[in-house]
Amino acid sequence: MTQKTHKSHGLSRFDDLKYPADFSHVEYVNPDAPKGGHLKIAAVGILDTLNPYTPTGTPILEARPINYFFLGFLGLNEPLMAGTGNYSVAADEPKSAYGLIAESVEHPDNSQWITFNLRKDARFHDGHPITAADVVFSYHFLKTKGSVRYQMQLSLIDRVEIINDNSVRFYFKSSGNREQLFSAAELPVLPEHYWSDASIKKAKLDPPLGSGPYKITKVVPGTSITFSRVQDYWGKDLPINRGKYNFDQITLYFYQDVTVAFEAFKAGTVDMHFERVAKRWADAYDFPDVINGRVLKVEIPSKSMTITPVCVLNTRHPSLDNLQVRKALAYLMDFEWSNRTLFDHAYIRSASYFPYSAYAAEGLPSEEEIAVLSPYKNALPEGAQPDQCPA
């Protein structure tokens, strides 16, 4: 049976994109934001390589626990589409991506393949145009020589072929899975002319050739990296990019411990600090610069999906394969006491694996959700029926 082919400026897991083809910018940015300034921020971890693709060493993206890749400037080589993956994650739309290097995409109903039509003005920082050959090279290079992360991402893809200089098609090993389209869309596009004649083990502190809004301009081994905004960045006027990437320079300072990073913030070495420790949020922000207003303590609400900390019981273990035992263990967890005593009432009970996001469970299931769950009604335990449990 002939499959209907869809062509669009973006991809959505749920058949609907928030922004139309002629959108001018995403809603959560100021499209006319001023450019300039030098932002200094901290990361906790080690700095031993600038190569984000190597299977050895610790790339910048893996600095923990502060994941600045969500800000987009660490993506030295841009992906085909932006909004999902590790590059400039969308803040207002779940599981959707819009064209970046790719101007448009085409795919059939069964998601057996996807075609990316590249922008003709897309280029690397050295002026070389980004072509379909670079996309194919990136796929083979990362699948065979890249880190495990990329090998897993690309494992669903069967093959890639060039249609012309500006169009490339990915074929998947199976059909019917809309999710797999994003594994291709999130592929970072590497410059073939830079990597083809060299090992992925290029000098660890040599900044690789990129294509994004920033490039590395200064490295202090073991201490800091400075990114400078690319003045002639090819994609600066794209709707998906307008209002973003406004600092002229961003310096990332590396610390071995989050407490030391916090002290650097208090001393004024870095400009902002993302607090993840409830106890510290409650009682450590009484230093002079907070009191006199030079440092602002702000809670910023977000509907982006975040990692939910949970305890997962291994049901394969004989002592945990009984539902009643697991329920008993859950009742032993005194959330109210720990939240009051240890965390200064910082948390609320989670009713979902994805709280505060568009995926969050709220109330009882809708009629549509019940229709999906009803065929499994007899397999569900008491108390977890579609018309009884929260969505």
Nearest to 225 by CA among 3, 59, 32, 30: 59
Nearest to 36 by CA among 250, 233, 191: 250
Q: Express each pLDDT in 216-242 by its tens digit.
A: 999 998 889 999 999 999 999 999 999
β-sheet with 102-108: strand ranges across: 5-8, 102-108, 113-118, 167-172, 157-164
pLDDT of residue 121: 96
Q: Residue 290 — left, alpha, or beta (φ > 0 → left; ψ -120 to 50 → alpha)?
A: alpha
CA distance 5 to 117: 14
Higher pLDDT pick, 263 / 67: 263
pLDDT higher than 60, residue 146: yes
Q: Show Cβ contacts of residue 126 under 8 Å, excluding neighbours closer than 6 positions.
A: 191, 194, 209
β-sheet with 96-99: strand ranges across: 10-12, 96-99, 81-82
In the chain, % of residues over pLDDT 70 = 88
Highest mean pLDDT among 8-22, 179-193, 197-211: 179-193
- Grade residue 304 by pLDDT with cuts at 50, 70 and 90: low
Domains of the chain with bracketed CATH: 5-195 (3.40.190.10), 318-379 (no CATH)
Residues making up the chain, counted from first to last: 391
Q: Which residue bears the tokens 């991506």?
A: 97
> 98: burial class by Cβ within 10 Å (0-12, 13-18, 19+)?
buried
pLDDT higher than 80, residue 388: no
CA distance 264 to 258: 10
- Grade residue 246 by pLDDT with cuts at 50, 70 and 90: very high
Q: Express each pLDDT in 266-301 by its tens digit.
A: 999 999 888 888 888 888 999 999 999 999 999 877
pLDDT of residue 65: 43
Nearest to 278 by CA among 357, 193, 177, 346: 346
